[in-house]
Structure 1
Protein backbone atom coordinates (compact mmCIF):
# COMPACT_ATOMS: atom_id res chain seq x y z
CA UNK A 1 0.00 0.00 0.00
CA UNK A 2 1.12 3.54 -0.66
CA UNK A 3 2.19 5.36 2.49
CA UNK A 4 3.80 8.61 1.31
CA UNK A 5 5.62 10.27 -1.55
CA UNK A 6 9.32 9.63 -0.99
CA UNK A 7 10.56 12.19 -3.51
CA UNK A 8 9.81 13.88 -6.81
CA UNK A 9 12.34 13.71 -9.60
CA UNK A 10 12.66 16.44 -12.19
CA UNK A 11 14.94 16.40 -15.21
CA UNK A 12 17.67 18.90 -16.06
CA UNK A 13 20.17 19.38 -18.88
CA UNK A 14 23.78 18.21 -18.62
CA UNK A 15 26.05 20.69 -16.84
CA UNK A 16 23.26 22.55 -15.01
CA UNK A 17 24.05 21.38 -11.49
CA UNK A 18 25.62 24.67 -10.33
CA UNK A 19 22.58 26.68 -11.50
CA UNK A 20 20.28 24.21 -9.79
CA UNK A 21 22.24 24.39 -6.53
CA UNK A 22 21.92 28.17 -6.40
CA UNK A 23 18.18 28.08 -7.06
CA UNK A 24 17.21 25.20 -4.79
CA UNK A 25 19.44 26.24 -1.86
CA UNK A 26 19.69 30.04 -2.06
CA UNK A 27 16.31 30.86 -3.58
CA UNK A 28 14.06 28.09 -2.19
CA UNK A 29 16.03 27.57 1.04
CA UNK A 30 16.43 23.81 0.64
CA UNK A 31 19.48 21.80 1.72
CA UNK A 32 21.47 19.76 -0.76
CA UNK A 33 21.70 16.11 0.23
CA UNK A 34 24.31 13.70 -1.15
CA UNK A 35 23.46 11.19 -3.84
CA UNK A 36 24.52 7.60 -3.24
CA UNK A 37 27.98 7.09 -4.81
CA UNK A 38 26.63 4.64 -7.41
CA UNK A 39 24.19 7.32 -8.62
CA UNK A 40 26.46 10.36 -8.21
CA UNK A 41 28.44 9.38 -11.31
CA UNK A 42 25.32 10.14 -13.38
CA UNK A 43 25.35 13.82 -12.32
CA UNK A 44 22.38 15.72 -11.00
CA UNK A 45 21.64 16.73 -7.43
CA UNK A 46 19.14 16.26 -4.62
CA UNK A 47 17.57 18.68 -2.19
CA UNK A 48 15.49 18.48 0.99
CA UNK A 49 13.35 20.78 3.11
CA UNK A 50 11.74 18.90 5.99
CA UNK A 51 10.01 15.83 4.54
CA UNK A 52 10.09 17.24 0.99
CA UNK A 53 12.75 15.86 -1.36
CA UNK A 54 13.36 16.98 -4.92
CA UNK A 55 15.82 15.06 -7.10
CA UNK A 56 17.18 16.62 -10.28
CA UNK A 57 18.38 14.02 -12.76
CA UNK A 58 20.45 14.79 -15.82
CA UNK A 59 18.77 14.07 -19.13
CA UNK A 60 20.39 14.43 -22.56
CA UNK A 61 18.07 16.34 -24.88
CA UNK A 62 16.25 17.85 -21.89
CA UNK A 63 13.12 19.91 -22.51
CA UNK A 64 11.11 21.22 -19.56
CA UNK A 65 7.55 19.97 -19.30
CA UNK A 66 4.95 22.56 -20.19
CA UNK A 67 2.31 21.45 -17.71
CA UNK A 68 3.72 18.78 -15.37
CA UNK A 69 4.99 20.04 -12.02
CA UNK A 70 5.29 19.18 -8.34
CA UNK A 71 2.86 20.95 -6.03
CA UNK A 72 4.73 22.11 -2.93
CA UNK A 73 2.76 23.16 0.14
CA UNK A 74 4.21 26.16 1.95
CA UNK A 75 3.42 28.20 5.04
CA UNK A 76 3.47 31.97 4.81
CA UNK A 77 2.97 32.00 1.05
CA UNK A 78 3.11 35.79 0.70
CA UNK A 79 6.51 35.97 2.40
CA UNK A 80 7.72 32.94 0.46
CA UNK A 81 6.69 34.54 -2.85
CA UNK A 82 8.46 37.76 -1.83
CA UNK A 83 11.61 35.76 -1.03
CA UNK A 84 11.60 34.18 -4.50
CA UNK A 85 10.91 37.47 -6.27
CA UNK A 86 13.67 39.25 -4.30
CA UNK A 87 16.10 36.59 -5.52
CA UNK A 88 15.09 37.05 -9.15
CA UNK A 89 12.70 34.12 -9.54
CA UNK A 90 9.42 34.49 -11.39
CA UNK A 91 6.24 34.48 -9.31
CA UNK A 92 2.99 34.02 -11.23
CA UNK A 93 -0.09 34.04 -9.01
CA UNK A 94 -3.06 31.84 -9.90
CA UNK A 95 -6.42 32.19 -8.14
CA UNK A 96 -8.17 29.25 -9.80
CA UNK A 97 -7.87 26.68 -7.00
CA UNK A 98 -10.70 27.20 -4.49
CA UNK A 99 -9.63 27.28 -0.87
CA UNK A 100 -5.96 27.97 -1.64
CA UNK A 101 -3.48 30.73 -2.42
CA UNK A 102 -0.99 29.57 -4.99
CA UNK A 103 1.63 30.68 -7.46
CA UNK A 104 3.91 29.14 -10.03
CA UNK A 105 7.62 29.67 -10.56
CA UNK A 106 10.31 28.06 -12.69
CA UNK A 107 13.75 26.83 -11.79
CA UNK A 108 16.69 28.05 -13.92
CA UNK A 109 16.26 25.24 -16.47
CA UNK A 110 12.51 25.79 -16.92
CA UNK A 111 10.97 23.20 -14.60
CA UNK A 112 7.56 24.45 -13.45
CA UNK A 113 6.94 24.46 -9.69
CA UNK A 114 3.63 25.12 -7.94
CA UNK A 115 3.60 26.55 -4.41
CA UNK A 116 0.33 26.51 -2.50
CA UNK A 117 -1.13 27.18 0.91
CA UNK A 118 -4.67 26.35 2.06
CA UNK A 119 -6.79 29.33 3.12
CA UNK A 120 -7.85 29.28 6.72
Structure 2
Protein backbone atom coordinates (compact mmCIF):
# COMPACT_ATOMS: atom_id res chain seq x y z
CA UNK A 1 0.00 0.00 0.00
CA UNK A 2 1.45 3.39 -1.01
CA UNK A 3 1.25 5.96 1.78
CA UNK A 4 3.33 8.92 0.59
CA UNK A 5 5.75 10.17 -2.03
CA UNK A 6 9.26 9.83 -0.62
CA UNK A 7 10.93 12.03 -3.24
CA UNK A 8 10.78 13.16 -6.85
CA UNK A 9 13.79 12.66 -9.10
CA UNK A 10 14.58 15.09 -11.89
CA UNK A 11 17.45 14.78 -14.35
CA UNK A 12 20.30 17.17 -15.00
CA UNK A 13 23.30 17.26 -17.32
CA UNK A 14 26.74 16.28 -16.03
CA UNK A 15 28.54 19.13 -14.24
CA UNK A 16 25.42 21.17 -13.44
CA UNK A 17 25.55 20.68 -9.65
CA UNK A 18 26.78 24.23 -8.95
CA UNK A 19 23.93 25.80 -10.92
CA UNK A 20 21.44 23.46 -9.27
CA UNK A 21 22.67 24.32 -5.76
CA UNK A 22 22.48 28.04 -6.53
CA UNK A 23 18.87 27.64 -7.70
CA UNK A 24 17.39 25.10 -5.30
CA UNK A 25 19.11 26.55 -2.22
CA UNK A 26 19.67 30.20 -3.17
CA UNK A 27 16.44 30.84 -5.10
CA UNK A 28 13.89 28.31 -3.82
CA UNK A 29 15.19 28.27 -0.24
CA UNK A 30 15.60 24.49 0.03
CA UNK A 31 18.35 22.75 2.01
CA UNK A 32 20.86 20.43 0.37
CA UNK A 33 20.80 16.88 1.73
CA UNK A 34 24.10 14.98 1.60
CA UNK A 35 23.92 11.95 -0.68
CA UNK A 36 25.25 8.65 0.62
CA UNK A 37 28.89 8.24 -0.52
CA UNK A 38 28.09 5.37 -2.90
CA UNK A 39 25.48 7.53 -4.66
CA UNK A 40 27.46 10.80 -4.45
CA UNK A 41 30.06 9.27 -6.80
CA UNK A 42 27.40 9.33 -9.56
CA UNK A 43 27.04 13.13 -9.35
CA UNK A 44 23.84 15.08 -8.89
CA UNK A 45 22.45 16.51 -5.66
CA UNK A 46 19.48 16.20 -3.33
CA UNK A 47 17.37 18.95 -1.73
CA UNK A 48 14.70 19.15 0.97
CA UNK A 49 12.10 21.64 2.22
CA UNK A 50 10.10 20.20 5.11
CA UNK A 51 8.84 16.77 4.02
CA UNK A 52 9.44 17.52 0.31
CA UNK A 53 12.54 16.02 -1.30
CA UNK A 54 13.81 16.65 -4.83
CA UNK A 55 16.68 14.57 -6.17
CA UNK A 56 18.60 15.75 -9.21
CA UNK A 57 20.41 12.92 -10.96
CA UNK A 58 22.95 13.16 -13.75
CA UNK A 59 21.80 11.97 -17.16
CA UNK A 60 24.30 11.92 -20.04
CA UNK A 61 21.88 12.75 -22.87
CA UNK A 62 19.90 15.16 -20.73
CA UNK A 63 16.88 17.06 -22.02
CA UNK A 64 14.92 19.28 -19.61
CA UNK A 65 11.41 18.13 -18.71
CA UNK A 66 9.11 20.57 -20.50
CA UNK A 67 5.79 18.98 -19.54
CA UNK A 68 6.50 16.51 -16.72
CA UNK A 69 7.01 18.31 -13.42
CA UNK A 70 6.68 18.10 -9.65
CA UNK A 71 3.79 20.07 -8.17
CA UNK A 72 5.05 21.83 -5.05
CA UNK A 73 2.46 23.12 -2.59
CA UNK A 74 3.37 26.44 -1.01
CA UNK A 75 1.95 28.79 1.61
CA UNK A 76 1.78 32.48 0.67
CA UNK A 77 2.09 31.94 -3.06
CA UNK A 78 2.03 35.63 -4.01
CA UNK A 79 4.95 36.46 -1.72
CA UNK A 80 6.81 33.33 -2.78
CA UNK A 81 6.40 34.20 -6.47
CA UNK A 82 7.69 37.72 -5.79
CA UNK A 83 10.69 36.28 -3.92
CA UNK A 84 11.54 33.91 -6.76
CA UNK A 85 11.20 36.68 -9.36
CA UNK A 86 13.41 39.00 -7.27
CA UNK A 87 16.02 36.22 -7.19
CA UNK A 88 15.96 35.93 -10.98
CA UNK A 89 13.59 32.99 -11.53
CA UNK A 90 10.89 33.08 -14.16
CA UNK A 91 7.34 33.11 -12.82
CA UNK A 92 4.54 32.22 -15.24
CA UNK A 93 1.07 32.35 -13.68
CA UNK A 94 -1.62 29.90 -14.77
CA UNK A 95 -5.31 30.20 -13.81
CA UNK A 96 -6.52 26.91 -15.31
CA UNK A 97 -6.71 24.81 -12.11
CA UNK A 98 -9.98 25.52 -10.25
CA UNK A 99 -9.60 26.16 -6.55
CA UNK A 100 -5.89 26.95 -6.74
CA UNK A 101 -3.45 29.76 -7.44
CA UNK A 102 -0.44 28.44 -9.29
CA UNK A 103 2.59 29.38 -11.32
CA UNK A 104 5.36 27.62 -13.18
CA UNK A 105 9.08 28.20 -13.19
CA UNK A 106 12.09 26.33 -14.55
CA UNK A 107 15.33 25.38 -12.91
CA UNK A 108 18.59 26.43 -14.61
CA UNK A 109 18.77 23.22 -16.68
CA UNK A 110 15.20 23.47 -18.00
CA UNK A 111 13.16 21.28 -15.64
CA UNK A 112 9.61 22.60 -15.22
CA UNK A 113 8.38 23.19 -11.65
CA UNK A 114 4.79 23.90 -10.60
CA UNK A 115 4.02 25.85 -7.42
CA UNK A 116 0.45 25.87 -6.16
CA UNK A 117 -1.69 26.89 -3.21
CA UNK A 118 -5.35 26.05 -2.62
CA UNK A 119 -7.70 29.05 -2.59
CA UNK A 120 -9.69 29.20 0.67
CA UNK A 121 -13.43 28.58 0.40
TM-score normalised to structure 2 length? 0.98
Aligned length: 120
**After the TM superposition, which residues 28-39 of structure 1 pair with which residues of structure 2 at under 5 Å, given as runs?**
28-39=28-39
- Structure 1 unaligned residues grouped into runs of 5+: none
Deviation, structure 1 residue 116:
0.1
Deviation, structure 1 residue 37:
0.7
Distance (Å, rounded) in 1 between the aligned partners of 2:103 and 2:66: 15
Distance (Å, rounded) in 2 between the aligned partners of 1:13 and 1:51: 26
- Structure 2 unaligned residues grouped into runs of 5+: none
Aligned to 1:61: 61
Aligned to 2:24: 24
**After the TM superposition, which residues 100-119 of structure 1 pair with which residues of structure 2 at under 5 Å, given as runs?**
100-119=100-119
Deviation, structure 1 residue 80:
0.3
Moved over 3 A (4+): none
Deviation, structure 1 residue 19:
0.1
Distance (Å, rounded) in 2 between the aligned partners of 1:74 and 1:66: 21
Give the superposed CA RMSD. Answer: 0.4
Deviation, structure 1 residue 65:
1.7
Aligned to 1:99: 99
Distance (Å, rounded) in 2 between the aligned partners of 1:85 and 1:65: 21
SS of equivalent to 1:96: coil
Distance (Å, rounded) in 1 between the aligned partners of 2:91 and 2:64: 17
TM-score normalised to structure 1 length? 0.99
Distance (Å, rounded) in 2 between the aligned partners of 1:72 and 1:108: 17
Deviation, structure 1 residue 66:
1.8
Deviation, structure 1 residue 92:
0.1
